[in-house]
């Protein structure tokens, strides 16, 4: 069972968040899937929408871990990052549709399983500390909406101007 922090972010909120995250070490934003087994870091984030390829990314800090496990998805013919075995943080972006902002999240799993022995283990302490620094940044900088979801300044402005944060 993983840990997550849910949030509402506008494009400007997201830029501020990613600038913070990238300042915590040798951090790469990786796509959800790739046609190659070596994932190329994303330089410019695409427009956020409900398409998984534009919404789901991985935050990977090479300063705290080299543990990035990639599997081939035979059904879709692409490589995917295994979030259960990798020391990476899932970054699911917000997107707006019909003046309604859909929440995003950061999600992580700290328990790992050895596929050969089926033994449970823990991911690196430094990885856990890194995730907690990101989660705490959101908790401190954003406003708690009352539903265990945090909202950035831009998202609050979006709501003040008539947008809906469900």
Residue at 99 is within a domain: yes
With 80 as the cut, is the pLDDT of residue 115 above it?
no
Residue at 129 is within a domain: yes
Q: What is the pLDDT of residues 14-40, one digit of tens each?
A: 999 999 999 999 999 999 999 999 999
Instruction: Determine the structural domain holding residue 9 and report its residue range.
Output: 3-160
Residue at 42 is within a domain: yes
For residue 30, which of 70, 64, 77 has the smallest C-alpha distance?
Answer: 70
Residue at 166 is within a domain: no
With 90 as the cut, is the pLDDT of residue 114 above it?
no
Would you say the pTM of this structure is higher than 0.85?
yes
Residue at 25 is within a domain: yes
Residue at 152 is within a domain: yes
Residue at 165 is within a domain: no
Q: What is the pLDDT of residues 125-158, one digit of tens each?
A: 999 999 999 999 999 999 999 778 999 999 999 9
With 90 as the cut, is the pLDDT of residue 72 above it?
yes
> Percent of the chain, pLDDT > 90?
84
pLDDT band with cut points at 50, 70 and 90 for residue 51: confident
Residue at 96 is within a domain: yes
**Is residue 46 helix, strand or coil?**
coil
* DSSP of 66-133: ----EEEETTTTEEEE-TTTSS-EEEEPPEEETTEEEPEEEEE--EEE-TTT--EEE--HHHHHHHHH
Q: How many domains does the chain have?
A: 1
């Amino acid at each position: 069972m993983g840990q997550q922090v849910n949030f509402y972010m506008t494009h400007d909120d997201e830029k501020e968040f990613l600038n913070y995250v990238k300042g915590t070490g040798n951090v790469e934003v990786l796509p959800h899937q790739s046609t190659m087994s070596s994932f190329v870091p994303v330089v410019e984030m695409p427009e956020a929408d409900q398409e998984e390829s534009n919404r789901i990314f991985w935050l990977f800090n090479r300063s705290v871990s080299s543990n990035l496990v990639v599997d081939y998805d035979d059904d879709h013919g692409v490589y995917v990052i295994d979030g259960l075995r990798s020391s990476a943080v899932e970054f699911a972006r917000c997107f707006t549709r019909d003046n309604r902002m859909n929440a995003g999240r950061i999600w992580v799993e700290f328990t790992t399983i050895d596929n050969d022995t089926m033994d449970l283990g823990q991911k690196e302490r430094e990885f856990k500390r890194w995730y907690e620094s990101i989660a705490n940044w959101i908790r401190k900088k954003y406003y708690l909406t009352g539903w265990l979801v945090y909202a950035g300044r831009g998202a609050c402005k979006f709501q003040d101007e008539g947008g809906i944060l469900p």
